[in-house]
A and B are shown apart, each in its own frame.
Chain A
Amino acid sequence: MSWAGPDNFPATSLADNLDKKLLVILRDGRKLVGTLRSFDQFANVVLERAIERIIVGELYCDLPLGLYIIRGENVVLIGELDVESEELPPHMVCVTPSEIKLAQKAEKDATELKGTMRKRMEFLDLD
């Protein structure tokens, strides 16, 4: 991130997002929400009062994490959460950590099952 663009051009900087509540999406698919306290040119980020928002279908759960330092190479996207609008669609249901873990396992099993079925169909080589 350039601090001083040569032609007074709006350089990409996270400085505008300092002390704001942000959504950080990581390469492993995790979604963290927290207050941006610090960053650097590699997009390493310090999030205060971070939570992990786990979403499975219509269910979601927020797990408190505390103070986080995220290594920049894992960052996909940093989004500014608009304070005026709802962070999630209203139909979504907040559940407990154990319930969301069950839902995650169920989702994982379903995709694995789809995967093995597809492999079997490919083996049959139907056209």
Chain B
Amino acid sequence: MLLPGFAMLFFSYFKELVGKEVTVELKNDLAITGILHSVDQYLNIKLENTRVVDEAKYPHMLSVKNCFIRGSVVRYVQLPPDGVDVDILHDATRREARGA
């Protein structure tokens, strides 16, 4: 995989979150909640059982239940508070920083 060092860390981190419910906020302000189905090296995200946060504002998303989100358009990924093991993340980050 031809990935820069830190992208590998977040890719691995997101892989741990597969199956959890997340809210992805995009750069165009659209926010979508769904179960994380998969992620790839570009941090593209596939969500299942999606629902839009502000449904009335985005009527065209009514029947969309699964979607693919291009990594380049993601602003935030909101996680469940217990979805993060901060210590493990800390250690991984320190290791990456040392290696880079």
**Which A residues lie at the B interface, using CB under 8 A?**
1-2, 9-14, 17, 23, 25, 27, 29, 31, 43, 53, 55, 60, 72-73, 75-82, 85-89, 92
Given the contacts A2-B41, A12-B40, A17-B68, A76 and B26 also touching, CB distance less than 8 Å: yes
- Are the CB atoms of B59 and A9 closer together than 8 Å? no
Q: Give Cα A10–Cα B40 distance, bound, in whole angstroms.
A: 9
- Are the CB atoms of A9 and B70 closer together than 8 Å? no
Asked if B67 lies at the interface with its beta carbon under 8 angstroms from chain A, I say yes
**Which B residues lie at the A interface, using CB under 8 A?**
1, 15, 18, 26-28, 30, 32, 37-42, 44-46, 50, 59-70, 72-73
Chain B interface, >50% SS class: mixed
Given the contacts A10-B38, A12-B68, A89 and B62 also touching, CB distance less than 8 Å: yes
- Are the CB atoms of B62 and A9 closer together than 8 Å? no
- Are the CB atoms of A76 and B28 closer together than 8 Å? yes
